[in-house]
Amino acid sequence: MKKLMTNPLLRQIEINRVSEIIDNCKSIEDTALAARAIDLLEANQPNEQEIIRIMRNDICDLTFKFFIEKYPNS
């Protein structure tokens, strides 16, 4: 059985780090890595569903933005 993170400070640091990864996305490839970070966050902190949902929505929006920039006539 996997032990979930219980220290509130460490949990917040993990959320902040994933948020930084999302904020630093510059390409579609970066959003794939950020999505993986969100998956790991969800595995470690399954009770943070609202934050995870918001992060997934942000990644989705960024992916569409980068796709449109990369393929403007699609």
Check whether 61 has a pLDDT greater than 60.
yes
Asked which of 19-28, 31-40, 52-61, 65-74 is least confident by mean pLDDT, the reply is 65-74
Q: Is 12 within the bounds of a domain? A: no
Q: Is 64 within the bounds of a domain? A: yes
Average pLDDT, the chain: 92
Q: Which two tokens stand for residue 20?
A: 């930084």
Ramachandran region, residue 4 (left: φ > 0; alpha: ψ -120 to 50; beta: rest): beta
Q: Is 51 within the bounds of a domain? A: yes
Residue 32: half-sphere exposure toward Cβ, Cα within 13 Å = 4
Q: Is 45 within the bounds of a domain? A: yes
Q: How many domains, the chain? A: 1
**Total residue count of the chain as it appears in this document:** 74
In three-state secondary structure terms, 25 is coil
Q: What is the reported pTM? A: 0.86
Q: What is the pLDDT of residues 35-59, one digit of tens each?
A: 999 999 999 999 999 999 999 999 9
Q: Is 66 within the bounds of a domain? A: yes
CA distance 54 to 74: 27
Q: Domain residues for 53? A: 25-74
